[in-house]
Amino acid sequence: MEYQTPQFFRLMQYAAAAERDVVELVSGGPDWNAPSAIGEGLHEFADLDGNDYQYPPSAGLTELREEIAARRGVAIENVVVTNGAGEANSLALAAALDRDAGREVLLTDPVYPYYPGKTQLFGGVPRYVPVDADGSLDPAAVRERASDEMAAIVVNTPNNPTGAVYGEETMAELVDIAAAHDAILVSDEVYDHFDYTGEFASALAVDSPHRIVTNAFSKSMAITGFRVGYGVFPNELVDGVRSRHMLVNVAGSRPAQYAVLRALRGTGPEYYERNRERLVRRIDGFTDALDDAGAEYTAPDGGFYVMARFPEFPGTMANAERLVDEAGVAAMPGETFGEARADWFRFALVSPEIETAGRRLADFFG
């Protein structure tokens, strides 16, 4: 597989080199502060004076795995702490494909492009299911495209890029479809703290050997640089997953895991609620600006991305560069996420300059 620089990086580099100031709404790195307990945990770890600076257990600090298991209602043996959700998803796809139950991986369209990239990296064949106009996923459409050649179904809820939130019935049906074809449902739930509907349901609610759940603290705690994620794997797969994780990474970062554990125990629900409220305000203000710009859009039920389509201005990389040069706003072109929203753009609302970006778009298209 020939390596190509991800479009995200290309566009961010283009925006950084622009001759004017640009509001960057490309990357999904939160712009708010991490919980105070993260810093406190790092200070505590530093004060150990080197007494505990060696390798942690390969599968993750035992206390952190215990905390995750207790919160998610699973056995500690099924939890593997990973190098972010990125590694958790890689381990999940590799495990699904290693079963020799098929080579096809069913993905949504639009889709976060790392999923098809990882699929191809591990020798799988991406297949796609278009989502509904509001971003929701109809299990009947998944069932129609499922086959015995399918190794996995991969979903992300709340969804990047559509902002859709999949409810309990949808998740249960997806696990059922996977089981019917001896496949694995991989549910990436990294945005689970950013549900504005109360409808979010984890695939962990379904007890099945045909589901894997991945997650991370990168978004919920605004610590994308810490690279602490995890996967919950069924008994039949977890040993192979732990072996692959150990061979690739040996182990994750002990200080980062220590700080995350401290933050899990020391951060109350108000931290997460405050950030949800911040994002709801941003979504409301930004979509008002999109109305002024004459755009079509879907307001997200979760996550912090908005997709929008502008009249006679399709979501190509060339037009994304025009937005940088002429409007001073950087957004991902829809063609990056597949065919179903190729005419759209995706905006990441993780910048304090959202109001400025909205005003610039309204002026540019108005």
Q: pLDDT tens digits for 149-164?
A: 999 999 999 999 999 9
Q: pLDDT tens digits, residue range 154-199? A: 999 999 999 999 999 999 999 999 999 999 999 999 999 999 999 9
* The pLDDT value given to residue 9: 84
- The CATH classification number of 36-266 equals 3.40.640.10
Residue 4 has pLDDT above 80, yes or no: no
Q: pLDDT tens digits, residue range 328-343? A: 999 999 999 999 999 9
- Residue boundaries of the structural domains of the chain: 7-34+270-365, 36-266
Q: Which pTM was predicted? A: 0.96
Percent of the chain beyond pLDDT 70?
Answer: 99
* The pLDDT value given to residue 5: 66
* pLDDT confidence bin for 51, thresholds 50/70/90: confident
**Architecture of the domain made up of 7-34+270-365:** Alpha-Beta Complex (3.90)
Query: b/e map of 173-190 (b: 16 or more CB within 10 Å)?
Result: bbbebbbebebbbbbbbb
* The pLDDT value given to residue 7: 84
Average pLDDT rounded to a whole number, residues 250-276: 98
Is 349 exposed, middle or buried, given 0-12, 13-18 or 19+ CB atoms closer than 10 A? Answer: buried
Residue 3 has pLDDT above 70, yes or no: no
Residue 165 near residue 195 (C-beta atoms within 8 A): yes
For residues 286 and 299, give the distance between their C-alpha atoms in angstroms, rounded to a whole number: 10
Q: Which residues pair with 104 in a beta bridge?
A: 125, 150
Average pLDDT rounded to a whole number, residues 237-264: 97
CA geometry: angle 115, 119, 120, nearest 5 deg: 120
Q: pLDDT tens digits, residue range 215-238? A: 999 999 999 999 999 999 999 999
Q: pLDDT tens digits, residue range 13-33? A: 998 999 999 999 999 999 999
**Closest alpha carbon to 164 in 127, 191, 146, 203:** 191
Average pLDDT, the chain: 96
* pLDDT confidence bin for 91, thresholds 50/70/90: very high
* The pLDDT value given to residue 366: 84
**Closest alpha carbon to 254 in 232, 227, 231:** 227
**Cα torsion 115, 120, 124, 130: sign:** positive
Contacts of 240 (CB under 8 A, 6+ apart): 95, 98
Residue 265 near residue 160 (C-beta atoms within 8 A): no
Average pLDDT rounded to a whole number, residues 297-316: 96
Residue 239 near residue 260 (C-beta atoms within 8 A): no
Residue 118 has pLDDT above 70, yes or no: yes
Residue 2 has pLDDT above 60, yes or no: no
Side-chain-side CA neighbours of 262 within 13 Å: the count stands at 18
Residue 1 has pLDDT above 70, yes or no: no
Q: Of all helices (H) and strands (E), which one includes residue 316?
A: none
Percent of the chain beyond pLDDT 90?
Answer: 95
* pLDDT confidence bin for 98, thresholds 50/70/90: very high
For residues 25 and 177, give the distance between their C-alpha atoms in angstroms, rounded to a whole number: 36
